[in-house]
Amino acid sequence: MDGWQIILTVLVVGLVALGLMLLIAPRFTIRLPFAVLLSLLYRKQVVGLENIPNDQGCVVVSNHVSWIDGVLLLWILPRNIRFVVDGGNFTNPLLKGLASRFGTILMAANPKSIGRALKEGREGVKAGDLIGIFPEGTLTRTGQLQTFKPGYQKILKGTDGCILPIYMEGMWGSIFSHSGGKLFFKWPDKFRRRLTLHIGKPLTAETPLSHVRSSVLALGAAATIDNRQEFPILAKRIIRVWRKRWKSLQAADSLGQQASGRSMLLRVFALRRVLRREVFAKDEQFVGVLLPPSVGGVAVNVALAMDRRVAANLNYTVSSDVVNHCIKDVGIKHVLSTEKFISKTGLEVDADMVMLDTLRDKVTVVDKTIAFIQAYLIPAVLLDLLLGLNKIKADDLLTVIFTSGSTGMPKGVLLSNANISHNVDAIDRAVRLNNKDTVLGILPFFHSFGYSVTLWAVQTLGPCAVYHFNPLDAKQVGKLSEKFGVTVLLGTPTFLRGYLRRVKPEQFSKLDVVVVGAEKMPGELFGAFEEKFGVRPVEGYGATELSPLVSVNIPPSRSPAKFQPDRVEGSVGRPLPGVSARVVTPDTDHELDTNEDGMLLISGPNVMKGYANREDLTKETINNGWYVTGDIAHIDQQGFIHITGRLSRFSKIGGEMVPHVRVEEELGKSFCEGEDDEQVRLCVTAVPDAKKGERLIVLHLKTEKDITEIRKSLSDAGLPNLFIPAQDSFIEIEEIPMLGTGKLDLKGAKQMAADLVAAGTS
């Protein structure tokens, strides 16, 4: 017998012996080698062990991210769980024997086998066992929690068992998950992963399915918050991404600037040195930025992040008084801009202005040499130490973004590295940006979506970004898209209306993904855009206080879905991984059931640290970790969020809540028919009324339509009389009040209506 035969014989005998040992050994003996191996590969943290019943049978319901979730839960939890699993994965005698040792309930895809498995699970609950179920029925392909199936309810029927909700965070990105669109055949994105398991309080067997899912979702938010130290520090990540895109085009803009990854690194390192030497005091934290979305705007924001300062991108579409309010609010000493841009805005700023075009003359040969060495020669790990990036923590502030001011004076929203990094990760999972994408960056960086997504997400996930300062400039948008081959467009329905009219189909020929937000997407706009450009838009939802993303429908071309839908038109999508949403009654905070409208609350690592210098407002809007959005919504049976309106966009008339958005939608069908759909033509607001509390007012552009006929169309559409504005409540104006972000200026519209009614214009 030669050497190879001896080795082969030893291996076969060893495997047989191992198999026999596993099949006859006590369960704790089998656990030992697995526990040692898993301890080497993973770090675990468990919260809520005290919630596991000691002597009561229950059904354990968990999220399902990886192929080995069951094995991991058996390792982490002290009590054995008898999982109900697909028997097709256990045809191997060894695996089947192991499953038997742990009391696993194998189920085939036929009614008789399913019935037998449910009965066995029911008997297990009666006997005091923990019966494990993955109610999604399949592995998630985006990390989002999917629809729950009601099978576990049949197991609990006729028992005194309970439901134990749990959530495990940390397995996305492993070879056992669908991250990157692949299962197994990929390199894991980190080693010795940190797993955070949250165990909720037991729920009664009668708990509605939607509330069970909501409980698991909430545990997921808590687990992700606890695991936030694992989020990449973006200032470190961008160095590595730009080095990979060394000679590739990384950023371009309508000002004619183009830069590769190498060029961006050189600019940022040189700028960081000059700002430290010439401008900033050592302890200066907040720095104002007045720049349009551009190559220069990206470089400035990244340079500030690498210098561990907090960028405050200021809104250049508002008045000087508003800008100076923001500056004073957070104590900004210096504002970075250029002579040309500041002259165009006409703003008078109460801070030391630093003009970047004149600062360029202060870049020395030494600065350029050191920037070259940092960009080209120093390993990234060492560079982190030299620049102090290793000192940045997840909870350290990255930026302050001011709210739009649509309902009052802007508030400074404090966002941390973890807040923005979570959003970057969420975009990666949902939209799956890659180095073949070119993203059109038309949202300003003072807008949370522009800052988080078109700046940080795009620059750290691999695509090229093309920036333009005016999203309403459809002609220039079309030219840039055609020139650079734009594949991803992020905007608002208002912007899309303009592109429908003025952009040629060939200019959007490479467009693959369109995501819209900020306002409700009209139903007819989906089809019109797809018909002209061949891409169907999807809706997402967010708020400045939420960094900003909460949910998104997965774009059709990027969808990995097989067994469950990941897009429902008319909704704003499912909550992103780690984000929890629930709907409650505005007055009592009682959680509502499926399809019931109420106040939308959000929890997760995307929730802001708070409002700058306004602890009172922070406490009003964040209750036990839940951000009160102010939006009225419902969640459907599949977990998709549907926004009904904003609480501030409701009027209480005659004791009933009248939604402005609903009235606007119906008015738009008749009022705007045949009109140029490039612009917003009407806005519904309200003024005080002595008899009924409030009175609806319709501000509209000049029209040839008959107001009487328009009112009749509302009645024909089935709107109650309270929803129909009076004949004299239609007021013609020259321009609908809008914010620079493309949103309606609700505060401005309300004030305009009040002034016009007081003046007797109506």
What pTM, to 2 d.p., does this model score?
Answer: 0.82
Instruction: Give the pLDDT confidence score for residue 581 in this predicted structure.
Output: 95
463 has pLDDT over 80: yes
More confident residue, 553 or 189: 553
For 231-242, write each residue's pLDDT tens digit: 999 999 999 999
Average pLDDT over residues 193-212: 93
User: What share of the chain in percent tops pLDDT 70?
Assistant: 90
Instruction: Give the pLDDT confidence score for residue 6 in this predicted structure.
Output: 53
More confident residue, 35 or 246: 246
Instruction: Give the pLDDT confidence score for residue 752 in this predicted structure.
Output: 87
pLDDT tier at 762, thresholds 50, 70, 90: very low
φ, ψ for residue 748, nearest 5 deg:
-65, -40
Q: Are 566 and 144 in contact (CB under 8 A)?
A: yes
Domains of the chain by residue range? 1-30, 38-230, 236-417, 654-758
Residue with tokens 């960094």: 547
Instruction: Give the pLDDT confidence score for residue 99 in this predicted structure.
Output: 65
622 has pLDDT over 90: yes
745 has pLDDT over 60: yes
Please state, as a whole number, how many other Cβ atoms lie within 10 Å of the Cβ of residue 178: 21
236-417: which CATH architecture?
3-Layer(aba) Sandwich (3.40)
Burial 740-752 (b: 16+ CB within 10 A, else e): bbbbbbbbbbbeb
Q: Are 163 and 61 in contact (CB under 8 A)?
A: yes
450 has pLDDT over 80: yes
DSSP labels, 144-206:
---PPPTHHHHHHTTS--EEEEEEEES-TTSTTB-GGG-SSSS--SSSSEEEEEEEPPPEETT
Query: Which CATH number among 3.30.428.10, 3.40.50.261, 3.30.300.30, 3.40.228.10 corresponds to the domain 654-758?
Result: 3.30.300.30
Amino acid identity, residue 69? D
- Highest mean pLDDT out of 10-24, 95-109, 383-397, 668-682: 383-397
Instruction: Give the pLDDT confidence score for residue 91 in this predicted structure.
Output: 67
Instruction: Give the pLDDT confidence score for residue 10 in this predicted structure.
Output: 46
pLDDT tier at 305, thresholds 50, 70, 90: very high
Average pLDDT over residues 136-159: 89
Instruction: Give the pLDDT confidence score for residue 680 in this predicted structure.
Output: 74
| φ/ψ bin of 610: left (φ > 0), alpha (ψ from -120 to 50), beta (otherwise) | left
For 1-35, write each residue's pLDDT tens digit: 455 555 555 454 444 544 545 555 555 566 677 77
In angstroms, the Cα distances linking 574 to 434, 549, 625 are 22, 11, 20
145 has pLDDT over 60: yes
- Going by their DSSP bridges, the two strands 162-169 and 193-199 should be labelled as antiparallel
Amino acid identity, residue 558? R
Q: Are 488 and 428 in contact (CB under 8 A)?
A: no
Instruction: Give the pLDDT confidence score for residue 319 in this predicted structure.
Output: 85
Q: Are 486 and 440 in contact (CB under 8 A)?
A: yes
From the list 748, 612, 746, 569, the residue with the least C-alpha distance to 328 is: 612
Reduced 3-state DSSP string for 100-143: HHCCCEEECCCHHHHHHHHHHHHHHHHCCCEEEECCCCCCCCCC
Q: Which of 3-17, 304-318, 646-660 has the lowest mean pLDDT?
A: 3-17
Domain 38-230 classified CATH 3.40.1130.10?
A: yes
From the list 567, 232, 244, the residue with the least C-alpha distance to 426 is: 232
For 161-188, write each residue's pLDDT tens digit: 899 999 999 999 888 998 888 877 778 7
72 has pLDDT over 60: yes
Q: Which of 172-186, 418-432, 481-495 has the lowest mean pLDDT?
A: 172-186
